[in-house]
Structure 1
């Protein structure tokens, strides 16, 4: 039976749980005709919104500081892309077409929901902070991002 292609997002956060989510998707959910988007929302600068108080700085110090921040951002971007590609290896091995989509935002939960809607995917697969269906109790919950997406996204979320 021939199935129409679907567009499926796999949300990753570069963790072991994300690697498991990709492997699970390949083994249990994805079809060879699907188009997969490996989606990662990277936090903006780690110092976003930090208030260090008033301090005097020269133009040279500001320029040097800016260069250091840009270098750190470039290095982190390269590391993020390399790790995302590494997590996508099971897709490559299975011959399932994919692309890596990385965006930056300070509110990762909200941006993830917005991105899956903007990209027009059929479903979003994501990890659940290491809790499987058997590991959850009534008091334990999904990870905060998974939980937020389950309650605020307009599409199917598979956690």
Structure 2
């Protein structure tokens, strides 16, 4: 894999679980020169006009870290990154000399995360697990279980330390 561009994806919704996934990816997978791509999924919304309508099927353009850190820019996407996630990725940029970008998709998280693997394309993917019990997982479905079974790249599921 020497010389090959690695694109490590992390599915984020800015919850505690996705924060754990970002931490784990930075500590265990991402290495110097990699792209760390934060993949976030927003609920499907019908827009009457503008950029969002164009991005509904392909996702947003890749958003650079300086724009991810700007609340005004992120507001137009309906995304609100938490300060802890931003701190982790900013430190990783300094320490590991990586590039961090975000790609936003709209729709069902299970399907769109798998779609992101091909669209971007990703070398590997890290997702957090909310720690649903067997009954809740059976009723609600598990995004991480679906992604592990359907994504065409290696997937790592990071459990929240509190579960």
TM-score by length of 2: 0.64
Is the aligned partner of 1:25 residue 2:4? no
Return the alpha-carbon distance in structure 2 between the equivalents of residues 120 and 10 of structure 1: 13
Would the alpha carbon gap of residues 119 and 91 (structure 1) be closer, same or farther in structure 2, given more than 3 Å must change? same
1:90 corresponds in structure 2 to 88
Superposed CA RMSD: 3.1
Instruction: Give yes or no for contact 1:22–1:88 (8 Å, CA) kept in 2.
Output: no
2:104 corresponds in structure 1 to 102
Return the alpha-carbon distance in structure 2 between the equivalents of residues 153 and 18 of structure 1: 18
Q: Is there any run of 5+ residues in structure 2 with no aligned partner, and where? A: 49-71, 158-163
What are the superposed Cα offsets for residues 80-103 of structure 1, whole Å, 9 maximum, x if unpaired?
533167524312112221101112
Instruction: Give yes or no for contact 2:117–2:152 (8 Å, CA) kept in 1.
Output: no
- After superposition, residues 1-159 of structure 1 pair within 5 angstroms as 4-45=4-45, 78=75, 80-83=78-81, 87-95=85-93, 96-105=98-107, 107-130=108-131, 144-159=142-157
CA shift, 1:114, in A, is: 0.8
Return the alpha-carbon distance in structure 2 between the equivalents of residues 111 and 121 of structure 1: 13
Would the alpha carbon gap of residues 139 and 108 (structure 1) be closer, same or farther in structure 2, given more than 3 Å must change? closer
CA shift, 1:31, in A, is: 0.2
Q: Is there any run of 5+ residues in structure 1 with no aligned partner, and where? A: 49-65, 67-74
Q: Which has the larger radius of gyration?
A: 1
CA shift, 1:3, in A, is: 5.9
What are the superposed Cα offsets for residues 12-49 of structure 1, whole Å, 9 maximum, x if unpaired?
1221010011011111111021111100011124xx8x
Instruction: Give yes or no for contact 2:126–2:155 (8 Å, CA) kept in 1.
Output: yes
What are the superposed Cα offsets for residues 101-144 of structure 1, whole Å, 9 maximum, x if unpaired?
11211x2211110111111110011101148xxxx9x9997x71
3-state SS, counterpart of residue 155 of structure 1? coil
